[in-house]
Each structure stands twice: as structure tokens, then as C-alpha cells.
């Protein structure tokens, strides 16, 4: 009886640990944010296990059913599409309910997109905060106002469709000269890390266009 949280590769299928593969091979049931995405990973490592969907649209409906199966002795492994479950991905609800019910939970170490983005940004990261995905409307002004005086480096995820607008908003609240790094398609063939001031990076992507998964790292206030 145990719930394992399995970090999955954020792009390169080789970025999974030997231990994660072993746990997936031994689990009785795999919970997948997207069964098609996880299916590619499982097939690549020749893992043939029952897979059931677990995502933000059904987690409240099925969490108690999963909890009952765990309490009956079943071992489960949770996979999200990319990175570590619970980090801007489904996972928190099931973990919380398992802890409340006394079901053992173990999270394996592994891929999380904001960590390599921080490390290769060249921006101080001895102290940092992670904001996940920024609010689209409600709370956005309040958050940007707070970030304008935040002294720690901060990182967040962004959609390629909203990146240029978000960089423009950051310029408005933080000024054009704050250092930043936009990491795109980490671990993939066309990985790119664009470093410079907010204005320089904004102008670069405004002219070039944006594709892929995005992590933004911004230097804290002086």
C-alpha cells in the first residue's frame, strides 16, 4: 500500500531515473494526467501496466475511489505529462487525502522544469521563489505589484501565446532593465535560453515569435 509520485521527463525521454522505471514496473496501477502522453513513456520503457486518467477535471470525483483502492493494499504510481506531480500539475489533492488517511506517500526525485531554468539563467538563485502559472486577470495587478519589490529571484511558467504580453507587463511594473532569462523547450532538440534585460528579451521574442514550453526567470529587486 503506497502512492508513488513519479517525475516524468520534461522533453527528453532519457531523463527518467532507473528507480522511477523500476517503481513503474512494480506498481499495480499507473495514474496518468494524459494517458496518451504517459503511454508514450511507458511504451518506450516496455512497461505494460493498467493506466487510468487522473487530472484536474476528474480528481475530485475519483479521489475517494482511489483512496479506497490504496487502503485495500494497492500500490499506485502517479505520472503527470512532464515534471513532478503536484508542481503546477495534479497531485496535491490525492497526496493530502492519502496523508489524512494514513496511506504512505513517496515522491521520487527527478525532473522539474524550473530547476534547470534557474540554474542556467546566470541569475543569482541562492534565494528564489516559484510562482507557477501567473493569474490571467484576477490578482494579476496585485501579484505584479508584489513582484516589483521582491528581492529574491523569481521563476514562473508561461504559455507561448502570452509570453510577450507578460514580458511587457513586467517591464511596466519592474522597469526595462531587470535581468531575466526565458528558457524554451528545455531538454529538447531546439532548447533555447534567451538572456538579457526584460526589454531585450521582450523585443527578441516580439520579433521572432514564440513556440514551445516556457520558463521565465527574473532577477529580484536591488
Question: 127 and 205 share a domain?
Answer: yes
The three-state secondary structure class of 168 is: helix
Domain housing 39:
2-107
CATH of the domain at 145: 3.30.950.10
pLDDT number for residue 54: 97
pLDDT number for residue 11: 93
CB 201 within 8 A of CB 194: yes
pLDDT number for residue 68: 97
Strands (E), the chain: 2-6, 29-32, 51-53, 75-79, 105-107, 128-133, 153-158, 179-184, 192-197, 214-218
The CA radius of gyration of the chain, in Å to the nearest whole number, is 19
Question: 171 and 199 share a domain?
Answer: yes
Among 105, 115, 92, smallest CA distance to 183 is for 115
| Number of domains making up the chain | 2
User: Which residues, including other chains, have CB under 8 Å from residue 28's CB and lie 6 or more apart?
Assistant: 49, 50, 74, 75, 76
pLDDT number for residue 177: 98
CATH of the domain at 71: 3.40.1010.10
Question: 120 and 160 share a domain?
Answer: yes
Question: 123 and 93 share a domain?
Answer: no
What pTM, to 2 d.p., does this model score?
0.93
Question: 48 and 96 share a domain?
Answer: yes
Question: 92 and 177 share a domain?
Answer: no
pLDDT number for residue 30: 98
Domain end position, chosen among 50, 81, 107: 107
Question: 129 and 103 share a domain?
Answer: no
Q: Please list the pLDDT of the chain residue by residue as tens digits (222 residues).
A: 999 999 999 999 999 999 999 999 999 999 999 999 999 999 999 999 999 999 999 999 999 999 999 999 999 999 999 999 999 999 999 999 999 999 999 999 999 999 999 999 999 999 999 999 999 999 999 999 999 999 999 999 999 999 999 999 999 999 999 999 999 999 999 999 999 999 999 999 999 999 999 999 999 998
CB 155 within 8 A of CB 130: yes
Question: 58 and 101 share a domain?
Answer: yes
Domain end position, chosen among 107, 124, 146: 107
Domain end position, chosen among 107, 137, 165: 107
Amino acid at each position: 500500500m503506497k502512492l508513488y509520485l513519479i517525475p516524468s521527463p520534461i522533453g527528453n525521454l532519457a531523463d527518467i531515473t532507473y528507480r522511477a522505471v523500476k517503481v513503474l514496473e512494480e506498481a499495480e496501477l499507473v495514474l496518468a494526467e494524459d494517458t496518451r502522453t504517459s503511454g508514450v513513456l511507458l511504451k518506450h520503457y516496455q512497461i505494460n501496466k493498467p493506466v487510468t486518467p487522473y487530472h484536474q477535471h476528474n480528481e475530485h470525483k475519483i479521489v475517494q475511489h482511489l483512496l479506497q483502492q490504496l487502503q485495500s493494499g494497492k500500490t499506485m504510481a502517479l505520472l503527470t505529462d512532464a515534471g513532478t506531480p503536484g508542481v503546477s500539475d495534479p497531485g496535491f489533492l490525492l497526496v493530502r487525502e492519502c496523508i489524512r488517511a494514513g496511506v504512505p506517500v513517496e515522491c521520487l526525485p527527478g525532473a522539474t522544469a524550473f530547476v534547470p531554468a534557474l540554474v542556467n539563467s546566470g541569475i543569482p538563485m541562492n534565494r528564489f521563489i516559484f510562482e507557477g502559472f501567473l493569474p490571467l486577470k484576477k490578482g494579476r495587478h496585485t501579484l505584479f505589484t508584489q513582484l516589483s519589490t521582491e528581492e529574491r529571484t523569481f521563476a514562473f511558467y508561461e504559455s507561448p501565446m502570452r509570453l510577450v504580453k507578460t514580458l511587457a507587463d513586467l517591464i511596466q511594473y519592474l522597469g526595462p532593465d531587470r535581468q531575466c532569462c526565458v528558457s524554451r523547450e528545455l531538454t529538447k532538440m531546439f532548447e533555447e535560453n534567451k538572456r538579457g534585460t526584460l526589454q531585450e528579451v521582450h523585443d527578441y521574442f516580439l520579433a521572432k515569435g514564440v513556440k514551445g514550453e516556457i520558463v521565465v526567470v527574473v532577477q529580484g529587486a536591488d
